[in-house]
Amino acid sequence: MPEIKDNIASIKSKLPERVRLVIVTKNHSVDEIKLVYGTGHRVYGENRVQELIEKLPLLPGDIEWHFIGHLQTNKVRYIAPFAKLIHSVDSLKLLKEINKEALKNSRVIPCLLQFYIATEETKFGLSLQEARDILESPDYPSLKNISICGVMGMASLSEDKDLVRSEFRHLKSIFDQLKREYFENKEDFRDISMGMSGDWPIAVEEGATLIRIGTAIFS
Ligand SMILES: *Cc1c(COP(=O)(O)O)cnc(C)c1O
């Protein structure tokens, strides 16, 4: 536990004011999370719906839960009552489903568009053109119960720092283009979720506003 506390303090001390830390609790027990909660941190992320809804009732109600993993439309209803931010929107179909479930819960759910920025084949995410297609679709303006607040991406799992940096820079440029083209006057279109345990310092240098860290905190 002293280690976890030190890990959090060390990371937070290196973050500029604009960057918020999302502590990723996947694969960690409720007891471990309670210890971290005891340090005062309130923003947590999970990447699997099942794991999240099992932990939810066993943890304090003032936690801000971010959903960061690939989300299937048939699972949206489980997290719609409480999700503070969904980082991983990668289709219009998913966005419509989130809107529908948010409406049922009388909420507006903040969402990020997830982009495919890595050179690896396995990652999820949109291309810039696919994002434009969503934002220009005739259905989009009627989605009153979602609010697109920015972008998310995962860099390649690589030791090549220049590669990782160029992928983060690409995501920042996508953010800037979307901001200019679609969200110029939307103040809460402001988040860039990028950076994990192995690459967050680079992500912060390249403009991240949210970093998602698990391993570097729990080990
Ligand atoms: C697991 C996960 C993280 C955190 O990864 P670590 O390397 O443990 O910091 C961040 N984002 C997503 C989408 C994840 O699934």
Instruction: Decide: 27 in ligand 1 pocket, CB within 6 A.
Output: no
Encode pLDDT of 34-46 as tens digits: 999 999 999 999 9
CB of residue 213 inside a 6 A radius of ligand 1: yes
3-state secondary structure the chain: CHHHHHHHHHHHHCCCCCCEEEEECCCCCHHHHHHHHCCCCCEEEECCHHHHHHHHHHCCCCCEEEECCCCCHHHHHHHCCCCCEEEEECCHHHHHHHHHHHHHCCCCEEEEEEECCCCCCCCCCECHHHHHHHHCCCCHHHCCCEEEEEEEECCCCCCCHHHHHHHHHHHHHHHHHHHHHHCCCCCCCCEEECCCCCCHHHHHHCCCCEEEECHHHHC
Confidence grade of residue 123 (pLDDT, cut at 50, 70, 90): low
- Ligand 1: does its nearest atom lie under 6 Å from the Cβ of 215? yes
What digits encode the pLDDT tens for the residues 162-217? 999 999 999 999 999 999 999 999 999 999 999 999 999 999 999 999 999 999 99
Hey, which of 7, 26, 152 would you mutate to test ligand 1's pocket, going by the most ligand atoms within 8 Å of its Cβ?
26
Q: Which atom of ligand 1 is nearest to the CA of 47?
A: 15
